[in-house]
């Protein structure tokens, strides 16, 4: 719930605040002030993240014959570490890693997370559970609004702004959306305003150039929608939330790179600019 407040502030400070308003990402002075306060106070309403790190990386063989996909090195550190860095940068220090294939190598490298300035708890999949199944394993921990993301994409997203957007719209789930030159290679969002109506998988005539960036802000009740065993959040959960008109799309302009194939991985090695 929001409350109206009146403050007296030096005009020079307001001038600086106004320079952050772009009418798109930061829409007005009120939005700018709220976002700046959240960052300054490190609002702990968003302090947990689940990162999916159980993938085999079949398309990155032979590299992934020896290591799990999240441990593939990129610019001097594992791909997974870039995701952890993103969380830490936004004050999210409690991270749950869902691991499966060669998960012992992830545990050996990251340990309890203290070396990286975070706390890591491992969610171990005895069998592949897809992109939604791990949520059920982590249910007892994820009792408040949380971030969920894939480990194998590189993303530079303002999580605090995304969180504020999610709360303003009172969404059950918010998906980060990014633009790509050829959206027909991905799942493309069909939008009504900011609300996602559906995703069209690799469409010949894309309704937009916005695709799922593999990062979400979710409310805990989403977990109750996940069936036992293997489940895919993109195919089984998000369509249900979209049907409720409660699936929000957050378009961002920061860099995003897919590392899913050898060609895309090589490009990311060269072009990723970091956070």
Q: Return d(Cα 128, Cα 99) in angstroms, integer.
A: 9
Return all residues near 262 (Cβ < 8 A) that are at least 6 apart. Answer: 59, 60
Question: What is the DSSP secondary-structure string of 127-151?
Answer: S--TTTHHHHHTTTT--S-EEEEES
- Which of 202, 235, 240, 245 is catalytic? The answer is 202
Q: Are 189 and 180 in contact (CB under 8 A)?
A: no
Q: Return d(Cα 145, Cα 160) in angstroms, integer.
A: 12
Distances, alpha carbon 31 to alpha carbons 17, 154, 251, 258, in Å: 10, 27, 16, 31
Say whether 202 is catalytic: yes
Q: Give the active site residues.
A: 202
């Amino acid at each position: 719930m929001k409350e109206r407040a009146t403050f007296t502030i030096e005009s020079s400070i307001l001038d600086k605040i106004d320079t952050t308003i772009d009418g798109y990402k930061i829409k007005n002075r009120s939005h700018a002030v709220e976002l700046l306060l959240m960052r300054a106070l490190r609002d702990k309403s968003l302090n947990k993240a689940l990162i999916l790190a159980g993938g085999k990386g079949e398309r990155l063989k032979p590299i992934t014959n020896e290591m799990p996909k999240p441990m593939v090195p990129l610019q001097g550190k594992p791909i997974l570490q870039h995701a952890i860095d993103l969380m830490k940068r936004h004050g999210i220090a409690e991270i749950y890693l869902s691991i499966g294939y060669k998960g012992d190598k992830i545990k050996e490298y990251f340990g309890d997370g203290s070396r990286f300035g975070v706390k890591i708890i491992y969610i171990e999949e005895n069998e592949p559970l897809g992109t939604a199944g791990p949520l059920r394993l982590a249910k007892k921990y994820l009792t408040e609004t949380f971030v969920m993301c894939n480990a194998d994409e590189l993303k530079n997203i303002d999580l605090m702004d995304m969180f504020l957007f999610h709360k303003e719209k009172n969404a059950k789930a918010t998906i980060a959306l990014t633009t790509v030159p050829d959206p027909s290679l991905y799942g493309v969002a069909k939008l009504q305003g900011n609300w996602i109506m559906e995703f069209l998988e690799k469409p010949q005539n894309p309704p937009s150039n916005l695709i799922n960036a593999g990062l979400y802000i979710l409310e805990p009740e989403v977990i109750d929608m996940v069936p036992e065993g293997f489940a895919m959040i993109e195919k089984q959960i998000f369509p249900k939330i979209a049907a409720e008109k409660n699936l929000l799309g957050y378009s961002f302009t920061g860099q995003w790179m897919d590392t899913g194939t050898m060609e895309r991985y090589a490009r990311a090695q060269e072009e990723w600019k970091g956070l």
